[in-house]
Structure 1
């Protein structure tokens, strides 16, 4: 499987062209799932696991990889399916999300496929808010399910969501009167950002992918909606079905009505690569997910500059 990952570093050329590559894998059963290759550090046969007392029920143990200890989450168990039974024949996908590294235990891995984000669609209607799907696509006439890993990690790791009091105090009223557009395909991630903004008293509108966000901006412009006049920042994920955050940024910059918009890319993808892409596509800032204080501080700083620019 190592050979499959040999060229991962070269695959970043797909970004900015509304394309991605998915590693296909299976849990228990025939259903195939996908994970973005950019998130993956390596794929290995499941190493020996050390049990940790009082850990979450879906954490099968910890593994030592190159001197670093990482938690290993049974991805099937995490989404309500049966656990992986035969650890000796299973695989671990080592991935980085939200500034942390973890292993995802899966029954088997298959291949990497090259797709267009336009072929990645939101989950079917009726999936419900409790669904663990963030998107679906079709490959070889089969439905590929893309798991909302941020939802899994929020449930397993209990990441902090509160903004520190020092940031929530003394927010000027003119700051609270401005608006933010939040774009993210993960319901959990959208609500995390919304909750952060609520704690600093800033209202926001929500969109679940780049295409929806672009349509909303155009609607506001066509109807002289005051939210556009007071739109201090667009906070957008990068990985989203139908239109990713890089392409959304590029499309915004093409429309003369939006060229002034401040775009903050807020994503679980990390690394120097994203900083380079910020410049390439014309975004203004990149913030890795998810630290409430860092996001809140960046938004407040931006709104203060916006208020000064507007002369409010």
Structure 2
């Protein structure tokens, strides 16, 4: 298992080139699933777990590994199926980091790592419904691999706080934003993440235009720019890093190379963390970087932009 991930650090260079690598695995059946390698720290055989009182039904317990402790989530149970933890089948543990938090995912057989272009990743069918746990599909060896929306899985187990602290909000700016119909473009393939941002923006008095991937986001920007100056339509763009068809890095690159869009304020809002990602978002031309999901920090950025916009309009 260690051989499977020993080159993971060097492979992170693919991020920003509209490419990704997926760690492919199974649960109890033959269907294959995947998550982004860049969010995976390690894959190990299932260790002994400590019991966790008053736990969510999908949480198996707590693992202690290399001096740290973290919750272990039965991914099959989290998807609403019979727990894999109690099946008696061989299991493995994927240790991952999302939104600056470490957790383990209990899975079945770990298959391999595959290298794909984001253009080969497609959104799930509309008929899958709003409550599904898929963020995308990838066709590998003529079979569709389901890419898990980990943010939704985590939000269902430990709901994210979307409320902005009262001492952060500026009521006068909120009223001004509402009166002037200020909007922000939010680009993210996770419905959960888009709804979280929409809620936070609403607390700041700001409306939300949504796009579910970078290609859709870029098309939206070009459509708005065709109707007039882009800053007349939106104040800024908040984009995720990893998305089907076009990732946030490529989207930002395209924005910076379009004369009608180049001056738009772009905030990268991603569950990827670390100094590597911060350096990369700066390289592609983002104005800022925030790790998901921190409503107070999002609100502060929004209000800074509102203040600057208000000052520019009112002189």
Q: Could you say which TM-score interval applies, normalised by the shorter chain?
A: over 0.9
- CA apart distance, 1:309: 4.1
Q: Is the 8 A contact 1:234 1:264 kept in 2?
A: yes
Q: Is the 8 A contact 2:230 2:261 kept in 1?
A: no
Q: Is the 8 A contact 1:181 1:205 kept in 2?
A: yes
Aligned to 1:218: 222
Aligned to 1:191: 195
SS of residue in 2 equivalent to 1:154: helix
Structure 1 residues 43-122: aligned runs within 5 Å: 43-84=43-84, 85=86, 89-122=90-123
Q: Is the 8 A contact 2:46 2:92 kept in 1?
A: yes
Residue 179 in 1 paired to residue 179 in 2? no
- CA apart distance, 1:168: 2.7
Aligned to 2:36: 36
SS of residue in 1 equivalent to 2:49: coil
Determine which of 257, 261, 264 is the counterpart of 2:260.
257
Aligned to 1:13: 13
Q: Is the 8 A contact 2:122 2:244 kept in 1?
A: yes
Aligned residues: 311
SS of residue in 1 equivalent to 2:168: helix
Aligned to 2:213: 209
Aligned to 2:276: 273
Determine which of 289, 293, 304 is the counterpart of 1:301.
304
1 CA distance for matches of 2:309 and 2:96? 36
Aligned to 1:284: 287
SS of residue in 2 equivalent to 1:114: strand
2 CA distance for matches of 1:121 and 1:290? 25
Query: What TM-score do the two structures reach when normalised by structure 2?
Result: 0.95
Residue deviations 1:107-161, cap 9 Å, x none? 1101000000001110012011011111001000000001111111011012212
SS of residue in 2 equivalent to 1:166: coil
Residue deviations 1:158-217, cap 9 Å, x none? 221211111234232434432211011010100000000001111111111110110011
2 CA distance for matches of 1:62 and 1:133? 26
Aligned to 1:144: 145
Q: Is the 8 A contact 1:46 1:88 kept in 2?
A: no
Aligned to 1:124: 125
Query: What TM-score do the two structures reach when normalised by structure 1?
Result: 0.96
Which segments of 5 or more consecutive residues in structure 1 lack a partner in the other structure? none
SS of residue in 2 equivalent to 1:22: strand
1 CA distance for matches of 2:21 and 2:171? 45
RMSD: 1.5
- CA apart distance, 1:86: 5.1
Residue deviations 1:31-90, cap 9 Å, x none? 000110000010000100111111100000100011111000000010112221456721
2 CA distance for matches of 1:174 and 1:55? 44
Which segments of 5 or more consecutive residues in structure 2 lack a partner in the other structure? none
- CA apart distance, 1:98: 1.2
